[in-house]
Amino acid sequence: MVLGLVAIMMAFGAWFFMSTVQSKNVFQIFFRADATRIIAESALAEWRATFLKKRIQEPGLRNLLENPSLTSPITISLSDLPHTQTVGDNLNGRGNWFLDGEISIHAIDDLLMENVGGIQKRGTFGKEYQGILRLQFTVGFGERARPSSSAHFSYDFDLKLTSLRSSPQDRINQGYTTDALNDYVLYIRGGKNEFQFFNVWNQRNIDRTLTIAHSSAGMKGKVFWEEGPNAATMEATGRILFADQGERLLISPPDPPLIGRAGPVHYSRFLPFASAQMRFYEFLNSDELFSSPLFQDNTLHLNGIYFVRNGGNGLVIPKGTTFTGRGVLISLGNISIEGSFTKKSPTDGPCFLYTWVGNITANAVEQGRIEASLIALRYNYDPYNQTSPVSTVSFSQRKADVLGGLLVDQLNLKSMAASEDNTITYDSNSLSGPAAFSYSVGGQLRGMNATYRLEENN
């Protein structure tokens, strides 16, 4: 009897021991699987969080982003991810694990062909494209050459490369030129109708003046008004002044001609930043934009092309707003700037505020400095029709103080202050110089794959 009980207890003991060992093994498997996932997600989050402010300065990454079809994938090392290093050490102990990473770009479309009104149109210029940014991480335990277990993770995001600055020589025969208007401090598309008389402003009893200035003497913006008076005649009106005494800016039409989405077109049909596929974000209305994570602490974070679809209320920028980064704000309707709208730091910009079919109202609530180019060029403007609707910029009878460019169908001089200096200063540092792009990585994960290789070399 006693021997029987002992045998039963020994059997139970052996079963308990085996169950405990098996439970421990199962726990280790699940722990390591979950640990690799936590480390990979930490690496992904850390890399993306520092993408614009740090990673984009690395020559290898910039070369990959700007020349994806000519560049091999680049690696990510653990030394690039200090916070992830801490996470992994806390989970597994320093030296007991490793991480290898790689960045590559796939599914590149550098044409973005669209059918608009039965016409095939290219939506990109130069190096612009849309593709998939793939980040891959392998996380393992033990030695890299013979890991006890490992897992591989792959994450796909939308990627858009948008040109926001280019040099004139780079635009020759390069398709749809999105940023050719950067060259201009003042661009008046309907100049023929506006300046047909030498004393036009005196006839209309307009006593305002507009001064054209430049932030750098070495990089000056151009002036253009269609079929208007020459520069000497314009200066003689006493209404448009030049900050540099004796300066004569030539009336300079686009050269080479602005390139349209279907080939060379008359400049009056130019529609910059038009391709829907190059937009990074679309918002139903202005409220949706300014309630999004892109607007925090009165600062709007720009990166690429943002489109506000509501044509009724348009885009309303609260007074005192600052911005970081570089990008374009397009409104299908009007744009209202309540007060100041300035860069967070001198290195930010360029920024473009662009209405397709409406007008721009600056100083809507109070006078304020605007550090962005104001573009009011209607897509359906007809230079050969005297009654064609035009777009303009109103300064609400307050002082015009713009650092950027003023690009309009018609100059609304009478909307500026009568007793103060109205000034448009060409932002040489933002609008001139080497090519500049926005690198937009989508916030939504498009695809994810995970492969676990556990207990490989136990």
- 237-253 average pLDDT score: 64
Distance from the first to the final alpha carbon of the chain: 43
One-letter-per-residue 3-state SS of 62-76:
HHHHHCHHHCCCEEE
Residues 335 and 232 in one domain: yes
pTM: 0.84
Q: According to the model, what pLDDT value does residue 220 have?
A: 86
Question: Same structural domain for residues 374 and 226?
Answer: yes
Could you list the residue range(s) of the whole structural domain that residue 410 is in?
168-434
The three-state secondary structure class of 328 is strand
Q: Cis peptide before 350, with omega less than 30 degrees from 0? A: yes
Q: Percent of the chain at pLDDT above 70?
A: 80
Average pLDDT over residues 227-246: 67
**Between residues 235 and 276, which one has the greater pLDDT?**
276
Is 70 exceeded by the pLDDT of residue 190?
yes
Same domain, 180 and 146: no
Helices 2-49 + 82-92 axis angle, to 10 = 180
Query: Are residues 214 and 81 part of one domain?
Result: no
Which of 397, 364, 393 is CA-nearest to residue 378? 393
Q: 123 and 238 in one domain?
A: no
Q: Is the pLDDT of residue 119 over 60?
A: yes
User: For 20-69, how does the pLDDT look when each residue is reduced to its tens digit (9 = 90+)?
Assistant: 444 444 445 556 778 899 999 999 999 988 887 777 788 899 899 999 98
Mean pLDDT, to the nearest integer, of 168-180? 78
Residues 96 and 31 in one domain: yes
Residue-wise pLDDT tens digits, 104-113: 999 999 988 8
Place 410 in a pLDDT band, splitting at 50, 70 and 90: confident
Return the sign of the alpha-carbon dihedral for residues 318, 320, 321, 327.
positive
In a domain, 2, yes or no: no
* pLDDT at site 454: 63
Same domain, 253 and 297: yes
Q: In this predicted model, what pLDDT tens digit does every residue of 253-263 receive, in sequence order?
A: 776 666 766 56
Q: How many domains does the chain have?
A: 2
Does pLDDT of 247 surpass 70?
Answer: no
Q: Does residue 141 sit within a domain? A: yes
pLDDT of the residue at 256 = 66
Domain shared by 57 and 193, yes or no = no
Mean pLDDT over the full length of the chain: 83
Domain identity same for 315 and 172 = yes
Contacts of 159 (CB under 8 A, 6+ apart): 65, 105, 130, 131, 132, 133, 439, 440, 441, 442
Residue 145's pLDDT is what? 73
Residue 9 lies in a domain: no
Same domain, residue pair 425 and 446: no
Share of the chain above pLDDT 90, in %: 43
Q: What is the pLDDT of residue 199?
A: 47
- In-domain check, residue 458: no
Task: Examine the domain organization and report whether 128 and 212 are in the same domain.
Answer: no
Residue, of 155 and 121, whose pLDDT is higher:
155
